[in-house]
Amino acid sequence: MKQATAIDPSWATSKNKSFSADRANRVARNAVTSAGVMAAARDISVMRGYSDTYGVMVPKTAKVCNQRQSGRCWMFSAFNVARHATMELLDVDSFEFSQSFGMFYDKLEKANAMFERIIRTAHLPFDSREVCELLDEGVGDGGYYPFAMNLIAKWGLVPKAAMPETACSRNSSEMDAQLERLCRKGACELRSMAADGASASELRAHKEELLANVHGMLAVCLGEPPVTFDLEIQVGKKCKADPAKVFAVEGKAKGAAKKDSGDENGKDDESERFVLRDAGITPREFAERYVPFDPNDYVTLVSMPGKTRPFGHAYHLTLTDSVVGGTPNRMLNVEPEVLDAAAVASLKAGVPVGMACDVMQQFPRYIDDYKYVLSTNGEDVEALFGCDLAMERADMIDMRETCLTHAMTFQGVQLDGDGRPRAWRVENSWGEKQGKDGYLVMSADWFHLYGGEVDVRREFVPAETLRQWDEAPVEDVTPWSGLATALGRGRQR
């Protein structure tokens, strides 16, 4: 192999002189230095062709949530799916679970899983790849859809009012810094004890002491999670909850619609109001009674093409399972059209779909107009820079150009004449002021190129794919593998 060559200064000087001689270069330079890359690359003639009308939409979508400065997108996505079942049951137009409650037990479970793995790997050098992974990623905010399902199955859910957001849940960096310090110090103590010959029972006894400190720190930052609480909520007349717990109350319905044209005065509707009361229930009882879906009934489908990533193959990401004894974090690799089919089937049944994608790609988030459009042709970056930037998805995965960075929720889809998706309606978790009232328009080709995950109920998965999910051998892959990186190593935030 020839010796590496350095850049010749004369070459750079020549390029500098020739650059400004080209009119297109001058225009591109002035635009980008003034407005930034995405704004300068925006193709308004393409952008204005995208609309937010959809032939298939989930009937009730509730108020858009806001994860603020935290990495809980996966939890918000999953909870947005789960709350749909609650809204249908209670006959309400909006509802929100406590993400602070979920965050508390997610951190506690992650700390326990980290300490258990530290004990298991105590014989390895401290700078081994596996130990470094545990220390780097132990109790971070990020996660995957199955993490939320495990939390719901084990700990339940509570309404947001039962455990509201705090300064540390809204902006988690300061809390996370102290938790990470606490857990790394604990890891150091466990490894030192193991090196001195401590038994497994002695190590786990110390682990319990460490977890007590983690619990206390979380309680200081997030508040103590309720053991029981009193549920009292206004519900609709079609509420399907236990009739013995639903009471009619006097007074006009809050926000009632005006009467039809027969009422010339347009007075408020004086229909009865109904209130659901259920005192002293636990979070698990709340989930069992008022969240009518099975958290163990979900299938995670991903589309990660490549020579080393065959379709029909199942994978398990080692060192990522956040709940010891919970359902492992596994996924089935399939063609992108399979993701489409499962998501469309769910939306047609009125059930939202958890999904994940790479929002770092071709997302004009900070452009004043059309900041809600995710498309492959809305920004002409190649013309702006005068070079070819196109890459196939498989190559992008191999070269670490793309990975699943963010989880959101499909709430609708526009189909073409052949029944295939043209554009998706996506509910984000960045509040109503981001995107278009909190929603994004995502073209189907953008999702094929930069998407790659849906989490759907078994009933919406094509039969052959479901058979593969149930029967395909599961391959363990490490968090530092190419596949794990593409799936969001460091976890979706």
What gap in Å lies between CA 190 and CA 200, rounded to an integer?
Answer: 10
Over 70: is that where the pLDDT of 373 sits? yes
**H-run or E-run covering 146:** helix 145-155
Q: Of the residues 73, 183, 221, 357, which is catalytic? A: 73
CATH classification number, 56-226+293-487, choose in 1.10.8.80, 3.40.190.10, 3.90.70.10, 3.40.50.720: 3.90.70.10
Active-site residue, 406 included: yes
What gap in Å lies between CA 147 and CA 110, rounded to an integer?
Answer: 10
What gap in Å lies between CA 87 and CA 343, rounded to an integer?
Answer: 20
Residue 441: name the closest of 46, 73, 52 by CA: 52
Instruction: Name every residue whose Cβ is closer than 8 Å to that of residue 245 and which is 6 or more positions away in sequence.
Output: 276, 277, 278
Q: Of the residues 84, 313, 406, 448, which is catalytic? A: 406
Q: What is the pLDDT of residues 40-89, one digit of tens each?
A: 998 988 888 888 889 999 988 899 999 999 999 999 999 999 999 999 99
Distances (CA, A) of 343 to 120, 212, 280, 444, 458: 39, 42, 38, 12, 11
The beta strands (E) that lie in 365-468 are given as: 373-374, 406-415, 421-427, 439-443, 453-457
Q: What is the pLDDT of residues 225-276, one digit of tens each?
A: 999 999 999 999 999 999 999 999 976 655 444 333 333 333 445 568 999 9
Active-site residue, 428 included: yes
To the question of pTM greater than 0.85 for the whole model, the response is yes
Instruction: Provide the token pair at 363.
Output: 């997302």
Residue 240 burial (CB count, 10 A):
14
Q: Of the residues 66, 329, 333, 428, which is catalytic? A: 428
What gap in Å lies between CA 292 and CA 294, rounded to an integer?
Answer: 7
Q: What is the pLDDT of residues 141-191, one digit of tens each?
A: 999 999 999 999 999 999 999 999 999 999 999 999 999 999 999 999 999
Asked if 246 and 222 touch (Cβ cutoff 8 Å), the reply is no
Which backbone phi and psi does 30 adopt, to 5 degrees?
Answer: -65, -40
Strand order in the sheet with 246-249: 229-235, 273-281, 246-249
* Residue 490: pLDDT band with limits 50, 70, 90: low
